[in-house]
Structure 1
Amino acid sequence: MRSDVDSVRHLPACGYRRLRWRNGLGWTREIHAAGSEGPGGDGWDWRLSIAEIEADAAYSAFPGTDREQVLLSGDGLVLDFGHGDLRPLLPPHGRQRFGGEVPVTARLQLGRAEVFNLMWRPARAAPRLWHRPLVGSMLLFAEPGDCWAVHVMAGQAMLDGGRAAPLLERGDSVLLDASHARSRYMLEGSGELLLVQVAAGSGAGAGVAQ
């Protein structure tokens, strides 16, 4: 089992950068931006963040990107695309995928909600996202050029017996890369995870084993 320090990047929740939405109507906590020109810049190939939605608000437009969102907490919301096109993100972990250039307004069901936000430029990155329980152990296989992002939604997880990264707690994330050879990583613990596999360009092979 490979656990090279250079191929693992621990991203604790306390280190996420809190930024204003592009349109100024809300806040987001940026987990990671790959290829970014700088924190909060728009030169990224793909990006992970957590949107804080405290009132009904229009989302910022991101032409040339695709988006996928997963409800993390709260009573849910509805994405209003106009003309009667309403798409819910309801508890426990509803999800939706849509184009970043499409006008959409988030309408809260009751109170505040938090949403995991995956954004990417299709010409540069091809991500896939899974919501998985963690009960015992799970293997992730990274092909050369791939990147995995693991976000702990609930519970705790250890990577490679704790040798490759500190204990991951609720809200933490970790990035796993394979440079020149296929790499295998073991996650152990109990809870719920969001797994994002990113390949360059188009296509990403399945690589989750339980």
Structure 2
Amino acid sequence: MLPANGYRRERWHNGAGWTREIARGGAPGGAWDWRVSIAEIEAPAEFSRFDGVDREQVLLSGGGLALESATGTVRLEPPHGRHRYPGEEGVRGVPIDGPVHAFNLMWRRGRIGATLWHRPLVGSMVLFAEPGSTWLLYLMAGQARVGTGTPGALLEAGDSMLVRAGADRASQRLDGHGEALLARLSPGPAGPQ
């Protein structure tokens, strides 16, 4: 379990804003292969560029976010607008009506495949991670109890959890209600959106 109050707050790579890192994966001591964070965007700012990295952003809170680039403007509208784009693209984030928070998934192109879903959580859900893959669940709203033990860890809105599989398949059960973002990260190219 990854409680929201444990996320590390740090400056953006270019120093233009703040982010709270949820998790990252990669070789020990090396550069990350994937990274998940929550961007805090209070004023128009240039996003950091990441060569060889793909990104997907989901609006978590606020009145909307305009992503401006040479290819045009994409608006992330409430409640949970989203957009996938290459990290080399020069993007400027412009809050539409006050500060916003955006879920930010990044992965190294060609090394990691990433698929992101927005799903309701109603009752029980089991995440199955195939060998070598990782699932990340970010609880957007509601509550969920993790595992089958008593009492089990409780996820509140804003908390996350990881299911990592080594050489063998791994699984984790959740019971609860609310909304979640689910990211599947695995070696190889990205899956369907």
- Would the TM-score normalized by the shorter structure come out above 0.5? yes
Shift of 1:164: 9.6
**Is the 1:198–1:204 Cα contact (8 Å) retained in structure 2?**
no
Aligned to 1:67: 55
The percent identity for this pair of structures is 54
Report runs of 4+ in structure 1 exceeding 6 Å deviation.
none
1:16-65 C-alpha deviation (Å, 9 max, x unpaired): 11010111110000011112766xxx810000000000001110111110
Runs of 5+ consecutive residues of structure 1 not aligned to the other structure: 1-9, 206-210
In terms of fraction of residues, the more strand-rich structure is 2
| Distance of aligned partners of 1:164 and 1:174 in 2 relative to their CA distance in 1, 3 Å threshold | farther
Counterpart amino acid of residue 158 in structure 2: G
Counterpart amino acid of residue 147 in structure 2: D
Aligned to 1:20: 11
1:52-93 C-alpha deviation (Å, 9 max, x unpaired): 00001110111110000000000011101136x110111000
Tell me whether 1:128 sits opposite 2:141 in the alignment: no
**Is the 2:115–2:190 Cα contact (8 Å) retained in structure 1?**
no
**Is the 1:66–1:119 Cα contact (8 Å) retained in structure 2?**
yes
Shift of 1:162: 5.1
Spell out the pairing of 1:112-191 with structure 2 (5 A cutoff). 112-161=99-148, 166-191=153-178
1:148-194 C-alpha deviation (Å, 9 max, x unpaired): 00110001111223569620111111110122333332211010000
User: 2: distance between equivalents of 1:98 and 1:163?
Assistant: 42
TM-score, length basis structure 2: 0.93
TM-score, length basis structure 1: 0.85
Aligned to 2:90: 103
| Distance of aligned partners of 1:197 and 1:101 in 2 relative to their CA distance in 1, 3 Å threshold | same
Aligned to 2:20: 29
1:198 to 174, 185, 188: 185
Runs of 5+ consecutive residues of structure 2 not aligned to the other structure: none
**Number of equivalences:** 193
**Is the 1:70–1:95 Cα contact (8 Å) retained in structure 2?**
yes
Shift of 1:107: 1.1
**Is the 1:78–1:106 Cα contact (8 Å) retained in structure 2?**
yes
User: 2: distance between equivalents of 1:204 and 1:86?
Assistant: 25
User: 2: distance between equivalents of 1:164 and 1:103?
Assistant: 47
User: 2: distance between equivalents of 1:17 and 1:109?
Assistant: 26
Counterpart amino acid of residue 68 in structure 1: E
User: 1: distance between equivalents of 2:32 and 2:23?
Assistant: 10
